[in-house]
Amino acid sequence: MNTAIVYYSMLGNSEMIAEKMAAKLGADVIRIEPDKAYPDKGAKKFLWGGKSAVMGERPVLKPYEFDPDKYDNIIIGFPVWASRPAPPICTFLSDQKDKMSGKKIFVFACQSGNGAEKAFDRIKKMIGIEKFAGEMIFIDPKTRVNADNDRKIDSFCENIGNGPASRFSTK
Ligand SMILES: Cc1cc2nc3c(=O)[nH]c(=O)nc-3n(C[C@H](O)[C@H](O)[C@H](O)COP(=O)(O)O)c2cc1C
């Protein structure tokens, strides 16, 4: 089963998880970048990104290569911003959702506290599905080192390509 991991990461947490999953799965990695980068330091980071998320912005993306026909599984990874998926991932989803129908869609989110479940619900509505084939939440995995994260990555990856949809415990 061919797998693509599509992710956006401002501070490297989602990137770290995407790379670890890619190494386990032999998956292709597609990094999404907004054409105009968000400020990534200090209070501006929260103000600009938070406003963009709350306003439902769909920032223009840098060109990327993604051919959904090549994949059975698509993993979407992103940081939670204001209990929403970070806007660059929303742009990706609205651009690609029609071509992703019939694929098994998995998601993972990185966050500092909470909001990922709401972000997952928004994505389901956005792309018109009721349930993901798998979902996982990580708490700032780059800075808050936790041995449990590797176990979570393993269990997430083991499910990929293995039969019926399932839901993971995230605690
Ligand atoms: C603009 C902005 C909004 C955020 N909003 C939330 C939030 O609603 N809930 C939360 O738990 N963390 C929030 N965070 C923290 C990030 O989701 C968290 O640090 C995540 O691990 C960053 O992932 P990244 O390194 O891939 O960018 C926010 C961060 C930013 C920059």
pLDDT tens digit string along 100-159? 999 999 999 999 999 999 999 999 999 999 999 999 999 999 999 888 999 999 999 998
Pocket test for ligand 1, best of 11, 137, 139, 146 (most atoms within 8 A of CB): 11
Instruction: List, in order of start, the domains of the chain with CATH numbers.
Output: 3-158 (3.40.50.360)
pLDDT tens digit string along 13-47? 999 999 999 999 999 999 999 999 999 999 999 99
82 lines ligand 1 (CB under 6 A): yes
Asked if the model's pLDDT at residue 162 lies above 60, the reply is no
Long-range contacts of 136-140 (CB under 8 A, 24+ apart): 136/107, 136/108, 136/109, 136/168, 136/170, 137/108, 137/109, 137/110, 137/111, 137/170, 138/13, 138/17, 138/108, 138/109, 138/110, 138/111, 139/110, 139/111, 139/112, 139/113, 140/13, 140/110, 140/111, 140/112
Q: How far is the CA of 70 from the centre of ligand 1 (A)?
A: 31
Stretch 89-99: mean pLDDT, rounded? 96
12 lines ligand 1 (CB under 6 A): yes
Those residues with Cβ within 8 angstroms of residue 27's Cβ, 6 or more apart along the chain or in another chain:
2, 3, 4, 5, 21, 73, 75
Q: Which residue's CA is the closest to the ligand 1 atom numbered 3?
A: 81
pLDDT band with cut points at 50, 70 and 90 for residue 168: very low
Q: How far is the CA of 111 from the centre of ligand 1 (A)?
A: 5
Q: What is the value of pTM for the model shown?
A: 0.94
Q: What is the pLDDT of residue 169?
A: 39
52 lines ligand 1 (CB under 6 A): no
Q: What is the pLDDT of residue 159?
A: 85
Q: How far is the CA of 86 from the centre of ligand 1 (A)?
A: 8
pLDDT band with cut points at 50, 70 and 90 for residue 163: very low
14 lines ligand 1 (CB under 6 A): yes
pLDDT band with cut points at 50, 70 and 90 for residue 161: low
